[in-house]
Structure 1
Amino acid sequence: MSWSGFVRVGGVPHHAVVEGDGPVCVLSAGLAMSWFDWDPVVPLLAPHRTVVRFDRPGHGLSAPAAVPPSAAGEAHRIAGVLDALGLQGPAAVVGHSIAGFHVEAFARLHPSRTAAAVLVDSSVEEHAHVPAAPAVRTAAARALGTALGAAGAPAALGPLTRRTVVRLSRASGGDPAPPALVRRCYATTRVLQGALLENTHYRAVAAELLALRERHPLPDGVPFAVLAAAAGGACWLDRQRALAERLGARCEAVASSGHLMMLDRPDAVAAAVLGEPAAALRKRG
């Protein structure tokens, strides 16, 4: 199966790409990242899985967000994308960075639709609290994005900022994304505002997830995996291991990887989804 286009979820057009065949696997990227950041992982999964990638509002090619992000809202978004694509069965859900919050919330709020979950160097907030005046924060983020857009900042600095962040977030190497795609996304005010909005509400989403943990248990028998970038250091690995323990998940410290593990170690990500050692995956490929 191969499909690329837009589906409407919550009244917002979402860009989505579907490839491969087999049980469904959803890949959700971190803050300000795009569908093409999973490109190295997809060829390893597509022979065995129906791989779904989508851009959250204000990311990649998706339309701007109609409402601020929330943990429950992002969980329901994943379900909404699958519904719009006609994929009703249980899915393995994979979340990188802040999308780790969304994947855990999905598993808690949609347990019957969760076949497995993989958190890829996930964001971790052990003691988050909801910041005051969320509406004011939303308005400020939108106003800042609009002002920077009017000043031409996205076109002038967006692609360069993207390239720099990717390079600094890897164990080695630069940004493999095609320059034309980077310009198409990151030279826009839409993507700048999307990143500002998610960053503004980061702690609120984290705090909401902590509350969901108290009310909605994880589904029984669903395998969870936490992949931690070894390059993050000892303290980061300790926090990832504590997260895995909290979720009853297995934790793997992935060598030769920075935060953007899907670029540094796509084999490790694919192996976690397929439930086999990365060495076996490399040998088979």
Structure 2
Amino acid sequence: MELNEIMGERLNFATAPDGVRIAWRDDGDPGAPAVLLCSMGTAAMSVWDPIVPALAPRWRLIRHDRRGDGESDPGAPASHSFQGYARDALMVLDAAGGSAAHVTGMAFGARVAAALAMLAPSRVNRLMLFDATGGPPAPEPLRREMSRKAAVLRAEAGRPKAFFDPRWFERRDPAGAGLSRHAFAGLPDWTPGLETIAAPTLVACGDHDPNLEGARRMAREIPGAVFRLMPMTGHASLLDDPGQTAELIREFLDAA
């Protein structure tokens, strides 16, 4: 089954200046406050499906497939940068008719969300960064091992295992595989400019996420940022504990 069949007729496309088509969709009341969702690395926009029912009754959720992932075109390798991803996300917000939005990023997508907040501060009402760090990404084996330990703790506590659909990580064009690694080329050891972020910001990270200390540092550097620790949660908290993720988003937006 193709991803566009799974998502249905509400799949839209916006075309970037380089001709790359970016797939997007929205859920909820078009007149409700907008929340722009930036997905974790290699994931399609459908990875947010588990929390859409909890949030769509109150907010308009605008999500997209980053270039190279899901239904979006891959684009040239050199087009893959966090600034470029942020511009694509702003283009999607324009296509959806939004002047500004609350912006939420998950893991890799948190880097995109932070870049967007620095690139276009007037477009960001509130900023939510999950599983984020301003430093280099942790090795994949370490992320997997720590997530495994968190899963053991959740099982011992009697918490149900979160639903997982492998189709969340499918892409229409296999040429997109691996292109996101180009976004890290030439980056400094730490993201500069976090102190310039003006939007009220939530930084949330799992207690079993290798990014934890980096997330704490981000919260210290972003003026007025709120930090929340997510217990029994590894990297990509949306997969480990979607309920907790949705609750933190609700809580932060309700404080607006």
On the 8 A contact 1:9/1:81 being kept in 2, the answer is no
Contact 1:33 1:59 in 2 (8 A): yes
Confirm whether residue 44 of structure 1 aligns to residue 54 of structure 2. Answer: yes
Aligned residues: 225
Q: Could you say which residue in structure 2 is the equivalent of 1:102? A: 112
**1:176 partner letter:** F
Instruction: Specify every segment of 5 or more residues in structure 2 that has no aligned partner in the other structure, as ranges.
Output: 1-8, 137-142, 152-160
* Identity value in percent: 26
The corresponding residue for 1:142 is: none
- Could you tell me how far apart the structure 1 residues matched to 2:111 and 2:168 are? 25
- Could you list the per-position Cα deviations for residues 130-167 of structure 1 after superposition, in whole angstroms to 9, with x for gaps in the alignment? xxxxxxxxxxxxxxxxxxxxxxxxxxxxxxxxxxx989
CA RMSD of aligned residues (A): 3.0
Max Rg structure: 1
Q: 2:11 and 2:227 mapped to 1: Cα distance? A: 33
SS at match of 2:79: coil
Counterpart residue type for residue 18 of structure 1: D
1:218 alignment partner AA: I
The answer to whether the Cα contact below 8 Å between 2:73 and 2:176 also exists between their aligned partners in 1 is no
Distance in 1 (CA, whole Å) between partners of 2:131 and 2:219 is 11
Q: Secondary structure at the match of 1:83?
A: helix
**Aligned equivalents of 2:236, 2:24: Cα separation in 1:** 21
Distance verdict in 2 for CA 1:210–1:182, change over 3 Å: closer
Listed one character per residue, the Cα deviations across residues 212-258 of structure 1 (whole Å, up to 9, x for unaligned) are x18x8222xx210111111226xx42322111101131111101222
| Counterpart in the other structure of 2:154 | none
Q: Which residue of 2 aligns with 1:202?
A: 184
- The yes-or-no answer on 1:20 pairing with 2:2 is no
TM-score by length of 1: 0.69
Aligned counterpart, 1:239:
214
Match among 11, 23, 37 for residue 4 of structure 1: 11
**Greater fraction helix:** 1
In 2: Cα distance, 1:258 partner to 1:218 partner:
26
Q: How does 1:1-285 map to 2 (within 5 A)?
A: 3-10=10-17, 11-21=19-29, 22-66=32-76, 67-88=78-99, 90-125=100-135, 169=147, 171-172=150-151, 173=161, 176-177=164-165, 181=167, 185-186=170-171, 189-192=174-177, 196-204=178-186, 206-207=187-188, 210-211=191-192, 213=193, 217-219=196-198, 222-232=199-209, 236-248=211-223, 249-275=225-251
Q: 1:4 to 1:75 in 2, by over 3 A?
A: same
Amino acid at match of 1:15: A
Distance in 2, matches of 1:24 and 1:225, equals 17
Q: Which amino acid aligns with 1:228?
A: C
Distance 1:64 1:6 in 2: 14
Q: CA deviation at 1:94?
A: 0.8
TM-score (norm 2): 0.76
Local SS of the residue matching 2:37 = strand
Gaps of 5+ in 1: 127-164, 279-285
